Amino acid sequence: MRPVRFAVCVFAWLLPLAALSLLLAWTRRHHPGAVATVAALLSRKPAPPPGVGWLGRFGGDAETGRWRRDGAELAAENGWGRVTFRKGAGLPGIRLVDDIAGPAGLRDWSPYRRLAWEMRVPGAADGRLSLIVKDADDRRFERSFPLPARGAGRAAVDLAEMSPFIDLTRLGEIHFFMRNPGGEIVVELADIRLERDGPAGEVLGKPFVVFDRLEAPASARLGETISISAWLSVAAPQPIPYSVFLHLYPEAERGERIPARRAGYLHVENAPLPPVTSWPAGSPRQVGPFTVHLPKYNPAGRYLIRIGLYNDLSSGNGPREVPCRGAYDYAGSFPKCRYTDPRLDDFVVGSIEVMPGGDG
């Protein structure tokens, strides 16, 4: 009787599988889209809550695999990304660069208010976790955060603090690292995200300056004095009395990222009248005329004209008071207000041909 019972058990076990196989075969033949739909529903990741954009979650090896390791180890454990920083690795860390779920999928951060994540330290550790965010032109924002003493803690940075450093509409990289850890340190990260609750950013967090036109000579000679004016407007009334900057420099020096280091660099600035705080939205106002002398010793060639608004709330050579922390870019310049026209790269609004001066 035992062989019969065994055969009955096997048959009872195989019969449902056979019926399921027949059902699947019939469904594929007569309703081919149904199986794909069910599979997609089963594999679909949970949608983020309203107003949240996910940048990094650690649900498994596939998600941790998107991060590059620089002298650090990363593993997924129960929704947390366990990062192990080791002594002697210099600046060990992890980077999210080009991935569909990372900066490549959320390159425009301007609609959001802050970057936030959860952080915890399983054991005793002393130090700070550093963050670098870069835009597509490799400009950077950097900030460090103390490690939570016990349990989990939330870390966040307002995007209005990042905007003077980087272009929030063209993000390129997120980098978490530690500077020269004295020993092995384990930090766990979770739910790295962008949050939209509240306003999208302060006045520096989004473009609002509109370029209308430029008035400048088409050419000039070294040793001459020229006059330059521009007409700008604001997209909305502004509460800050912005100043105006004018930079001229040879086009050949455009690759130098710090303007003051460009050969032949000329710089003029002033406070416009009437002040920007009185400008009605959408009504162009003249800034200038700027009187610029072209020194004879400057190089000849095509010069680029760079004009815009910037925030200078105090005078002198010391640190300026600005409306948000971290309001200087890493090159040390003042926070500049972005144009609404993204084609005005590096605030360049025109050019002038500068020829060698005459004898004497």
Average pLDDT per run of 10 along the chain, which is 360 residues long? Answer: 59 60 58 44 53 80 82 88 80 77 72 85 78 85 78 78 77 86 85 72 60 96 95 89 91 77 86 92 94 93 92 44 35 66 85 84
For residue 43, with 0-12 CB atoms within 10 Å meaning exposed, 13-18 middle and 19 or more buried, which class applies?
exposed
- The pLDDT value given to residue 211: 95
- The pLDDT value given to residue 171: 86
- The pLDDT value given to residue 11: 55
What's the CA gap between 186 and 125, in Å, rounded?
8
What's the CA gap between 18 and 13, in Å, rounded?
9
What's the CA gap between 166 and 319, in Å, rounded?
20
- The pLDDT value given to residue 251: 92
**Cβ contacts of 219 within 8 Å, gap of 6 or more:** 352, 353, 354, 355
Phi, psi dihedrals of residue 71, rounded to the nearest 5°: 70, 20
Specify the pTM: 0.49
**Cβ contacts of 13 within 8 Å, gap of 6 or more:** none
Degrees to nearest 5, angle at CA 249 with 248 and 250 = 140
- The pLDDT value given to residue 205: 46
